[in-house]
């Protein structure tokens, strides 16, 4: 079970792990042991996530979101399979935690008339300075 917060937990049956051979450091061990992990979470079918969270998760996950509605996280940073597994679960928890945060609605604002006037005056003043710089012909 993966605990995200007090209300949301991901059950073991929702997660699928596949172990593959990793590239990188490890010597001969790299050719023998499947230490890289591919963690798959069927987010679209998860009963523990509200629809709004699923939509945000889809946007945040980006390329890691599959057509079937799953989030796939691949980790091959450590030589240890167990450590890679922990890292993958931590990343999934972070991703879901980010999706839980409701973004603030942007309130469109307008530039005040005073600010527009100041900007135009500053431009005129700058143009005047440059105009005086010109050499005589």
Instruction: Confirm or reject CATH 3.30.428.10 for domain 2-100, answering yes or no.
Output: no
The helix/strand/coil state of 51 is helix
Q: Is the pLDDT of residue 137 over 70?
A: no
Instruction: Give the distance, in angstroms, between the CA of residue 128 and the centroid of all CA atoms in the same chain.
Output: 49
Q: Measured at the alpha carbon of residue 98, what is the angle toward residues 93 and 104, in degrees to the nearest 5?
A: 160
Q: Is 61 exposed, middle or buried (0-12, 13-18, 19+ CB in 10 A)?
A: buried
Q: Is the pLDDT of residue 120 over 90?
A: yes
The pTM of the full predicted model, rounded to 2 decimals, is: 0.70
What are the strands of the beta sheet with 15-20, ordered from one edge?
15-20, 36-41, 71-75
The number of C-alpha atoms within 13 Å of 116 and in the hemisphere containing its C-beta is 4
> What are the tens digits of pLDDT across the range 54-89?
899 999 988 989 998 889 999 888 888 889 989 999
């Amino acid at each position: 079970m993966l605990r995200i917060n007090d209300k949301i937990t991901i059950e073991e049956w929702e997660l699928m792990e596949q172990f593959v051979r990793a590239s990188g450091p490890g010597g001969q061990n790299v050719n023998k042991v499947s230490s890289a992990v591919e963690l798959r979470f069927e987010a679209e079918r998860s009963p523990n996530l509200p629809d709004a969270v699923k939509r945000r998760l889809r946007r945040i996950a980006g390329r890691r979101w599959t057509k079937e509605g799953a989030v796939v996280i691949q980790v091959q940073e450590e030589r240890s399979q167990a450590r890679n597994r922990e890292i993958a679960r931590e990343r999934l928890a972070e991703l879901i935690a980010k999706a839980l945060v409701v973004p603030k609605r942007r309130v469109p604002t307008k530039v005040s008339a005073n600010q527009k006037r100041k900007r135009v005056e500053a431009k005129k003043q700058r143009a005047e300075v440059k105009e005086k710089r010109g050499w005589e012909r």
